Amino acid sequence: MTFSAASVTLGSDPNPTGANSAGVSTERTSDEAAGHDGRMRSVLHTRYGPPDALVVRDVERPTPDADEVLVRVRAASVNAADWHVMRGEPFLVRLMGFGLRSPKRAGFGADVAGEVEAVGSDVTTFQPGDAVFGELPGSGRGSFAEYVCAGEDVLVAIPDGVSFEEAAAAPMAAVTALQGLRDHGRLRAGEHVLVNGASGGVGTFAVQIAKAEGAEVTGVCRTEKIDAVRSIGADQVIDYTEVNYAETGDRYDLILDAGAHQSVFASRRALAPGGRYVLVGGTLGPMLQTMALGPLLSRLGNGRVTAMMEEPNPDDLAVVGELLASGDVVPVIDRRYPLEDVPVAIADLEAGRATGKLLVTVE
């Protein structure tokens, strides 16, 4: 495959005559859309702290604004960003608009897949019944619930043959991997790519996307996850509990670091001449170091060093959808949790008890 913008046929226009006085399509707003007498279950985040700061409550089902879509959630997935937002750590998270002393929004969760239940009067892309997936802006926007409202510009139609669970696993992690490899890493076919953190959410997608683009891929993970990383196509796997990839003498055209735990000076030693080091996740020290020193190191050395943050957009999500539909990328789903166990899922991810993605399924 090539990293081109996808051409996706989305749902047809809603019936303009099926709107109520609030500007919401009522084509499918009967008992099925009404939930529990207009109420729903939702995970709420009202204070920063450990997983027990999250609670499940019955709340009013939301009504979409004119440019929004009401989605009946079928599945959602957990990301590292969720537990950072949950704890409000590092403090930089709070400065990014999530609230200084307490969360600004009670809704929680970013990745979502489900069915359109109702649409606002200005929505032209989707209609009730469409299967959609997306990443709600930032994190903490309410995907861990039975229903959630989202702008139509953050959702994409789920391709035929892709399940709700597969779609829900992908948005934040797969788009991060795609942007890291394609945009920041400038990946080309035939290059030797190393993915550090290859058994995680971003890493499992990065290994597969790099292979789909024709790269030779080395994955880095711990001992018990080696077989899983091999199973998704890694040509070589390094056990970081035994070997530091920066000290093997091997050189890589591109390093995508989703689990940075060492100095950027150590990591860049593993770059081939003209290589690119892209940090997408890890501990705070290496991340701050790469953000601060990356531009200088890129100018002084024969290579490029950068840290990136994912930028959600529907075009890249559509590319991910094509990868899922073609079978070039298959989400690695470790475990599934009911809505009531979202705090357990967050705790498991935070503790490193996950290979690939953890899903929340909504009945």
pLDDT for 92 equals 67
The average pLDDT across 27-37 equals: 44
Higher pLDDT residue, 49 or 341? 341
| Per-residue pLDDT band at 283 (split at 50, 70, 90) | confident
pLDDT for 91 equals 66
What is the pTM for the complete model shown? 0.87
Torsion region of 236: left, alpha or beta (phi above 0 gives left; psi -120 to 50 gives alpha) = beta
Evaluate if residue 26 carries a pLDDT over 80: no
The average pLDDT across 243-260 equals: 96
| Per-residue pLDDT band at 289 (split at 50, 70, 90) | confident
pLDDT for 137 equals 75
Q: How far is CA 357 from CA 89, 203, 315, in A?
A: 21, 10, 22
| Per-residue pLDDT band at 105 (split at 50, 70, 90) | confident
Question: Could you tell me where in the chain the CATH 3.40.50.720 domains are found?
Answer: 173-307
The average pLDDT across 250-256 equals: 98
Please, what is the average pLDDT of the chain? 87
Q: What is the DSSP letter of 94?
A: I
| Per-residue pLDDT band at 333 (split at 50, 70, 90) | very high
8-22, 71-85, 193-207, 285-299: lowest mean pLDDT where? 8-22
Higher pLDDT residue, 40 or 294? 40
Q: How far is CA 197 from CA 120, 214, 219, 330, in A?
A: 41, 20, 7, 17
Homologous superfamily assigned to 173-307? NAD(P)-binding Rossmann-like Domain (3.40.50.720)
- Look up residue 211 and give its two tokens: 């292979």
pLDDT per position as a tens digit, 169-182: 999 999 999 999 99
| Per-residue pLDDT band at 87 (split at 50, 70, 90) | confident
Q: What is the DSSP letter of 149?
A: E
pLDDT per position as a tens digit, 205-239: 999 999 999 999 999 999 999 999 999 999 999 99
| Per-residue pLDDT band at 85 (split at 50, 70, 90) | confident
Give the C-alpha separation, 2 to 189, whole Å.
9
The average pLDDT across 290-311 equals: 88
Helix or strand holding residue 325 (H, E): helix 314-326
**CA-based end-to-end distance of the chain:** 35
Most confident among 134-143, 248-257, 287-296, 303-312 (mean pLDDT): 248-257
The radius of gyration of the chain's CA atoms, rounded to the nearest angstrom, is: 21
pLDDT for 288 equals 83
pLDDT per position as a tens digit, 136-159: 975 457 999 999 999 999 999 999
Question: Could you tell me where in the chain the CATH 3.90.180.10 domains are found?
Answer: 31-170+331-361
| Per-residue pLDDT band at 295 (split at 50, 70, 90) | confident
Homologous superfamily assigned to 31-170+331-361? Medium-chain alcohol dehydrogenases, catalytic domain (3.90.180.10)
| Per-residue pLDDT band at 29 (split at 50, 70, 90) | very low
